Structure 1
């Protein structure tokens, strides 16, 4: 586990764990593991039981669902230092409600339920960081779902533009991803997204090219 020792120094939750406590724990060998997934691989299927929490070491992970029309919707995204399964592992129904997959090549460090419980019971620093993380991300996930589920294409697109406007602080939204990725994020087909963009352009609400969307009528964000 020497290679894990270095990793433990660089990630928020793992930094709270004295590495020597793992070597002293006779079950640590079965309770902690490092896993690598290739881009496009499924990490957890919808319905899988959560028996470990996963700390993302590298790469990008997405949570996705398929709506009633067969569209793939990206609910949220996770990045290095984020935790998967933290809100599920102690649930009475610890099943993943949606598919979790590797958007890029991904490396994870996974801690078993037993080990997480032990650290929560004996390590107040670990417990504090763990509770803060799952509380903050439960709120963020709820906001994401509220924004993108059961909305029209235009409402979902406006919600996306409003979020990017706040992040980029500009009426010209730079698209750092493809329109297909944006369509997946708001849960529509790429062709449907393109049609809605054309309609909004004709109505004088925005203009766009392959690299950006410029908001002309700021009132639509209100």
Structure 2
């Protein structure tokens, strides 16, 4: 658990001991779910936020046709989820989180973040400041995704997604399979597969199984004018 807490933005600028003290004060509990288990459903009351300790989960929403649209995939120990919904003053989460593999999560009561405790300890104030930073970064990320989804053609969307996930050393760490990529871009998997194949044939991409590489990233800039180097 200590490594997950160290990776979690919620516990930034805090030692492992300080983080555990805060968790004890908050009433946090560790929970386990098997593959396919629901960490929370759309209609559940949003009274807890969660820290992923082990495994991976997907965030989604059920459509009118019964299909579950994947909004995000979370697989890094220390990642937060559910934190936005506990501060929206609504009666339900409005989305669901499902275990993609056996997972362990830390469930933290939302009320812990409403105010500092009567002792007014420095660590409680720090964790509230950290939560504000988390929200600021999330707002920035969502702005970026809106820009991606409104970028026009499917090729432009793919170019934007791949360029923004390119590491400084040029490698690509996408963290999603083809189906998840299609859901993220709001297109069908066959449409995505056809466009990826066309981009491969044109020399824009190297595709080996599930792996995608960018042999000439500068050429992708021709299809998307917003680019993070």
| Same fold? TM cut 0.5 | yes
Q: Does 1:92 align with 2:93?
A: no
Instruction: Tell me, in whole angstroms, the C-alpha distance in 2 between the residues paired with 1:198 and 1:76.
Output: 24
Q: How many residues align?
A: 209
For residues 140-196 of structure 1, the C-alpha deviation after alignment (integer angstroms, 9 at most, x for no partner) is 23433442379643333222122133x2553x7577654334323323332221112
Instruction: Tell me, in whole angstroms, the C-alpha distance in 2 between the residues paired with 1:83 and 1:92.
Output: 19
Q: Counterparts in 2 of 1:123-138, with a 5 A limit?
A: 123-138=124-139
What's the counterpart of residue 105 of structure 2?
Answer: 108
Question: Measured at CA, do residues 183 and 133 of structure 1 come closer, stay the same or move farther in structure 2, by a change above 3 Å?
Answer: same
Q: Does 1:48 align with 2:56?
A: no
Offset at 1:36? 1.0
Offset at 1:20? 8.3
Q: Is residue 44–residue 99 contact of structure 1 (8 Å, CA) maintained in 2?
A: yes
For residues 10-64 of structure 1, the C-alpha deviation after alignment (integer angstroms, 9 at most, x for no partner) is 4553554562883xx6xx6xx4321112233222223432111112222223223
Q: What's the TM-score, normalizing by structure 1?
A: 0.71
What's the counterpart of residue 156 of structure 1?
Answer: 157
Question: Measured at CA, do residues 58 and 148 of structure 1 come closer, stay the same or move farther in structure 2, by a change above 3 Å?
Answer: farther
Question: Measured at CA, do residues 45 and 140 of structure 1 come closer, stay the same or move farther in structure 2, by a change above 3 Å?
Answer: same
Instruction: Tell me, in whole angstroms, the C-alpha distance in 1 between the residues paired with 2:174 and 2:114.
Output: 42
Question: Measured at CA, do residues 64 and 146 of structure 1 come closer, stay the same or move farther in structure 2, by a change above 3 Å?
Answer: farther
Offset at 1:214? 3.7
What's the counterpart of residue 185 of structure 2?
Answer: 186
**Aligned to 1:220, what secondary structure does the other structure show?**
coil
Instruction: Tell me, in whole angstroms, the C-alpha distance in 1 between the residues paired with 2:160 and 2:130.
Output: 30
What's the counterpart of residue 21 of structure 2?
Answer: 19
What's the counterpart of residue 221 of structure 1?
Answer: 224
Q: Counterparts in 2 of 1:157-172, with a 5 A limit?
A: 157-165=158-166, 167=167, 169-170=169-170
**Aligned to 2:42, what secondary structure does the other structure show?**
coil
Q: What's the TM-score, normalizing by structure 2?
A: 0.69
Which structure 1 residue ranges, 5 or more long, are not aligned? none
Q: Is residue 164–residue 173 contact of structure 1 (8 Å, CA) maintained in 2?
A: yes
- Pick one of 50, 56, 60 that aligns with 1:64: 60
Q: Is residue 120–residue 127 contact of structure 1 (8 Å, CA) maintained in 2?
A: no
Offset at 1:7? 8.1
